[in-house]
Amino acid sequence: MILYKTSNLSYEIDSRTIFSNLDFEISSKAIYEIRGGNGSGKSSLLKILSGLNKIDNIYYDENLELNIAYLGHKNGFVEEISLRDNFNIIGAPLNDSLFKKFGLSKLKNQKFFNLSFGEKRKSALVRIISSEKNIWILDEPFAGLDKESIKNLIKVFNEHVKKGNCIIMANHQEELDESVKIYLEKNV
Amino acid sequence: MYKDLKREFGLFLLIPKNIYLPLSIFGIIFLIFIILNFDEQLSYVSSFIAAFITVFIISESSFKDDYTSGYLEQKICEGESLSSYLFAKFSVNLFLIFIPITFFAYLINGFEGENIFELIVSYLLMLSTLHFFFNLGSAVSMKRNNSLNALLIIPLLIPFIILVEEIFVKIALEPNLNFLMAYFIFSATFINFAVIQILKVQSK
């Protein structure tokens, strides 16, 4: 099923061209990696795909709405309350096996501001994984994670895709073997 | 809707300063007016001024924390309703701050008088309308992290303040209560619509 399709896509911010002449088609059952250097428009493209910046020159599947789980640069949690309370107030399930897999079990009662950068990032990823959304749009999901967590996360990604779902992520770390690449070049 | 209500009520109860800070601000300002011992005719005005300042202060950071944490961006990207988000914020403020403030104000001023029910309703409508207007200022100034834009909203409130004077000083309920109700409906609909559009633009 085609989720997004575009040809000759361009995007500007304040008269500065971020990217241009972009062609791609995104379907379900795959991982899509958006790759490019700093300032090439990876985050901007993710925001376009999530609908935050809607652009005419792109086809959006009609079933996309409410089927997207999004993770930007920030984690979306409240710093002053515990990890457990953060999940409770948004109605996200406290999936014990996921918490254990990412080493977060003992941190449930810790105030969120006490967690390290990597732990906060893993918490945000657990929220995404435990949502029942088919499409995951992730901005630099591996940032701040240790090797073991990256390995576990890639396994989770593959399982998610095997169920017929889709992952679209911006990534400038090591390329994934089984992913479709969308390359962005920085416009000078 | 339920999800937003649960989150907002949960945040208020888990972070107690969200409740005691506005009630403390209101109490302190109101106490200052009591000590200054104004004319009895101005007793309702003093509670209005205390409420005005309290709502202004608490509305300043209505959306800042959610914007800074990335929660707003997430909410918009995941296609969730900002209307229910705003309604949840209003509901929490109404039940946990505005109603206690109203009760406190009338406890001090007294519950006597034939129009007491209309005055209490007017007081709650006034607080709610102020909340919506100051939310507009908060949304506009969200990215720049300053209150300057919020202060620009205050001129929009001048007719509202004149209206409130008619109701609370002169106790002239007709037709001013009708105008206040219209102002409330305008702020609850159009102003909140504007806030939603501004939040979407600010989150880009």
Rounded mean pLDDT, B119-130:
89
Residues A42 and A83 in one domain: no
A53 compared with A166, residue with greater pLDDT: A166
Question: Which residues on chain B are in Cβ contact (under 8 Å) with A75?
Answer: 69-70
Question: What would the pLDDT profile of A137-181 be if each residue is shown by its tens digit?
Answer: 999 999 899 989 999 999 999 999 999 899 999 987 777 888 888
Q: Are residues A59 and A8 in the same domain?
A: yes
Domain count, chain A: 2
Label residue A74 by pLDDT band (50, 70, 90): very high
Is the per-residue pLDDT at B30 higher than 70?
A: yes
Question: What tokens appear for B9 in the block?
Answer: 């009520």
Closest residue of chain B to A52, computed from CA coordinates: B77
Kindly state the average pLDDT of the residues B165-193.
Answer: 86
Shortest CA distance from B199: residue in chain A? A52
The two three-digit tokens of residue A144, written as one number: 């701040």
- What is the rounded CA–CA span in Å between residue A170 and residue A172? 7
The answer to whether the Cβ–Cβ distance between B15 and A81 falls below 8 Å is: yes
CA distance B170 to chain A (A): 45
Is residue A58 within 8 Å of residue A9, measured between CB atoms?
yes
- Reported pTM: 0.88
| Residue A103 forms contact with B (CB below 8 Å) | no
ipTM, 2 dp: 0.89
Residue A48 and residue A30 share a domain: yes
Q: In CATH, what number is assigned to the domain containing residue A46?
A: 3.40.50.300
Domain co-membership, A46 together with A96: no
Count how many Cα atoms sit within 13 Å of the Cα of residue B32 in the half-sphere of its side chain.
Answer: 9
What number is the average pLDDT over the span A100-128? 94
Q: Which residue segment(s) compose the domain that B95 sits in?
A: 2-202
- A139 and A125 within one domain: no
pLDDT value, residue A182: 87
Between β-strands A30-35 and A166-170, what pairing exists: parallel, antiparallel or unpaired?
A: parallel
CB atoms within 10 A of CB A66: 10
Position B185 confidence tier, pLDDT thresholds 50, 70, 90: very high
Whether the CB of A44 is below 8 Å from some CB of chain B: the reply is no
pLDDT at B119: 82
Task: Give me the mean pLDDT over the A58-68 stretch.
Answer: 79
Helix-, strand-, coil-residue percentages of chain B, each rounded to 5:
80, 0, 20
A87–chain B Cβ distance below 8 A for any pair: no
What is the structure's pLDDT at A168? 95
Q: What is the pLDDT of residues B40-52, one digit of tens each?
A: 666 667 777 888 8
Interface membership of B113 toward A (CB under 8 Å) = no
Kindly state whether A80 is in contact with chain B, defined as any CB-CB distance less than 8 angstroms: yes
Cβ separation B69–A76 shorter than 8 A: yes
**Do A52 and A28 fall within a single domain?**
yes
Percent of chain B with pLDDT over 90: 34
Paired residues of A170 in beta bridges:
A34, A139
Instruction: Nearest by CB to A88, from B10, B65, B80: name it.
Output: B10
Is A72 a domain residue? no
Please state, in angstroms and rounded to a whole number, the distance separating the CA atoms of residues A25 and A6. Answer: 6
Question: Is the pLDDT higher at A58 or at A68?
Answer: A68
The tens digit of pLDDT for each residue in B69-119 reads: 999 999 999 989 999 999 999 999 999 999 998 888 877 776 566 777 888
Q: How many CB atoms lie within 10 A of CB B1?
A: 12
Looking at the predicted structure, is the pLDDT value of residue A188 above 50? no
Those residues with Cβ within 8 angstroms of residue B144's Cβ, 6 or more apart along the chain or in another chain = none
pLDDT for A78 beyond 70: yes
Task: Please give the pLDDT value at position B172.
Answer: 79
Location of structure tokens 């079933």: A63
The count of CB pairs under 8 A between chains A and B is 74
Whether the predicted pLDDT of B38 surpasses 50: yes
> Does residue A153 form part of some domain?
yes
At residue B105, the pLDDT reads 82
Q: How many CB atoms lie within 10 A of CB A79?
A: 15
Closest CA to B12 of B98, B75, B77: B98
How far apart are the C-alpha atoms of A79 and A109, rounded to whole Å? 13
* pLDDT number for residue A137: 95
pLDDT at A20: 82
Residues A128 and A161 in one domain: no
Answer whether B204 touches A (CB < 8 Å).
Answer: yes
Question: Is A73 domain-assigned?
Answer: no
B44 within 8 A of A49, measured Cβ to Cβ: no
- Pair A136, A128: CB distance under 8 Å: yes
Question: Which residues of chain A neighbour B80 with C-beta distances below 8 Å?
Answer: 66
Domain span at residue A33 reads 1-67+135-188
User: Hey, what are B94's tokens?
Assistant: 């109404």
Residue of A nearest to B202 (CA): A52
User: Residue A21's pLDDT is what?
Assistant: 84
| Interface residue A70 vs chain B (CB under 8 A) | yes
Count of C-beta atoms within a 10 Å radius of residue B43: 19
Q: In this structure, are A2 and A48 located in the same domain?
A: yes
**Mean pLDDT, residues B176-201:** 91
Per-chain mean pLDDT for chain B? 85
Predicted confidence at residue B111, as pLDDT, reads: 56
